[in-house]
Structure 1
Amino acid sequence: MRIVLVGPPGAGKGTQAAFLAKNLSIPHISTGDLFRANISQQTDLGKLAKSYMDAGNLVPDEVTIAMAKDRMEQPDAQGGFLLDGFPRNAQQAVALDEMLTAEGMKLDAVLDLEVPEDEVVKRIAGRRVCRNDSAHVFHVSYQPAEQEGVCDICGGELYQRDDDSEDTVRKRLEVYHTQTEPIIDYYKAQGLVVTISALGKVDEVTARAMQVLGKADDQ
């Protein structure tokens, strides 16, 4: 299957992408991983992307599209893939369609993870991270530390990252609504969108996704 995964920040896209890709035996292709791999391997595209990032500028769509195209042409992606974070806007969605059409391929489904905005803010703004080890993550509501502000694992101070503040989360949601949400309408016009609730336990969300993707694959 060839799937695009969309949803607002805090919808759990990265977590669900990993589970779904494993269950479907297809590679999980995320924009973040593409950038990190190209930059660490010092590819021409990685050097180009880094030059924009170092200057504090957004990486142009053409560079992101070229990275995605290169990754989708790798042998392990010939039988399908799950795209996470790409396409991010309408221009990238059109470019993806053109790429696939040129190869005689098409998308099977666009999985839209739906989460109420207040829940997104609660999920992200409630995160607390240990200053000693960023892998130690707690949540004021869903996974509180035994002692407020203190890491259960190492005793380090727990703090809220700037990226997790409510103001920042709401700004990220605005960007999502403006730039990324329009691709849902673009794909709805093609009959590709399947929407599921991303509320509940991780395995419950995965089960819902597998069920709707199975139906999409039967169409």
Structure 2
Amino acid sequence: MKRIIILGAPGSGKGTQAQLLSKSLCIPFISAGEILRQEIKKNEKTRSYIKNTINQGKLVKSSFMIQLIKENIQKKNSFNGFILDGFPRTIEQAKSLKKYIAIEYAIYLNIEYKDIINRIEGRLIHKPSGRTYHSIFNPPKQHNVDDITGEILSKRKDDTKKIIKTRFEEYIKHTQPLIHWFQKEKKKIHYLEIEANQSINHIHKKIINHLNKKKKYK
């Protein structure tokens, strides 16, 4: 069983790597961002709160996010494990998640701010599935069209320089301390840090090699 968390700043490639791992390991990919987008569609009570928070580049309340994550883990076919992208984002969330389920692997994709701008400005998404592409680094087979469905791709509304800057500042404030927390948990959680400014396939192979190691943890 492999229960994996993908960590990293917005634009570090978390979603892309999570999708690849999901296919390679045959375990579900659970995206916090996609969960929130689905919640916006179906729940009128929380719609405005989530939209306003996301559009400002900020984080939704931990208690609210944890409940949604729990519900989705239970819904997914996660008997053999799962991959979490975009959660946890704070130490508080990590500790709360730890009470609920044991995470085995934490993979941190490290990237500089200037590279984030280049990546996010060219990012394209397939809204129904959450599949992500990039106009330069990971282009679809056909220009601006999803590889699987043939549907038109789009850009996220929060992929602007102003919002990216806010999201990165939130990341530094909340998630960087979380990285240090995971580093201290090395005896309990298999931790891997990778420079994200490399090819998608190279990063994927490094992650798979790490997951396949027969290393014993106390």
Superposed pair shares fold, TM > 0.5? yes
Kindly tell me: are residues 84 and 153 of structure 1, through their superposed partners in 2, closer, same or farther at Cα, counting changes over 3 Å? Answer: closer
Larger RCO: 1 or 2 (CA < 8 Å, sep 6+): 2
Match of 1:213 among 198, 211, 214: 211
Taking the aligned partners of 1:22 and 1:94, their CA distance within structure 2 comes to 28
- Mean CA deviation greater in 187-196 or 12-21: 187-196
> Alignment partner of 2:106: what SS?
strand
> Alignment partner of 1:11: what SS?
coil
Tell me what 2:149 maps to: none
Taking the aligned partners of 1:161 and 1:71, their CA distance within structure 2 comes to 23
Tell me what 2:93 maps to: 92
Partner amino acid, structure 1, of 2:169: E
Tell me what 1:109 maps to: 105
Taking the aligned partners of 1:143 and 1:18, their CA distance within structure 2 comes to 13
Taking the aligned partners of 1:213 and 1:6, their CA distance within structure 2 comes to 15
Partner amino acid, structure 1, of 2:166: K
Tell me what 2:127 maps to: none
The normalised TM-score by structure 2 is 0.73
* 8 Å CA contact retained: 1:7, 1:114: yes
> Deviation per CA, 1:115-135, whole angstroms, max 9, x where unpaired?
23322233234x288xxxxx9
Partner amino acid, structure 2, of 1:123: R
Write out aligned runs for 1:51-200 (5 A): 51-53=48-50, 56-57=52-53, 59-74=60-75, 76-100=77-101, 106-125=102-121, 127=122, 138-139=135-136, 163-191=158-186, 192=189, 193-200=191-198
* 8 Å CA contact retained: 2:36, 2:50: no
Segments of structure 1 that go 5 or more residues without pairing to the other structure are 101-105, 130-134, 145-151, 155-159
Kindly tell me: are residues 48 and 116 of structure 1, through their superposed partners in 2, closer, same or farther at Cα, counting changes over 3 Å? Answer: same
Partner amino acid, structure 2, of 1:116: E
* 8 Å CA contact retained: 2:7, 2:108: yes
Q: CA deviation at 1:68?
A: 0.4
Asked which structure has the greater CA Rg, the reply is: 1
- The count of residues paired between Structure 1 and Structure 2 equals 189
Taking the aligned partners of 1:161 and 1:60, their CA distance within structure 2 comes to 22
> Deviation per CA, 1:38-83, whole angstroms, max 9, x where unpaired?
444x3xxx444314236x3564221211010111123611221100
Kindly tell me: are residues 78 and 37 of structure 1, through their superposed partners in 2, closer, same or farther at Cα, counting changes over 3 Å? Answer: farther
* 8 Å CA contact retained: 2:40, 2:50: no
Segments of structure 2 that go 5 or more residues without pairing to the other structure are 54-58, 125-131, 146-154
The normalised TM-score by structure 1 is 0.73
> Alignment partner of 1:78: what SS?
coil
Taking the aligned partners of 2:82 and 2:138, their CA distance within structure 1 comes to 32
Matched, 1:34 2:35: yes
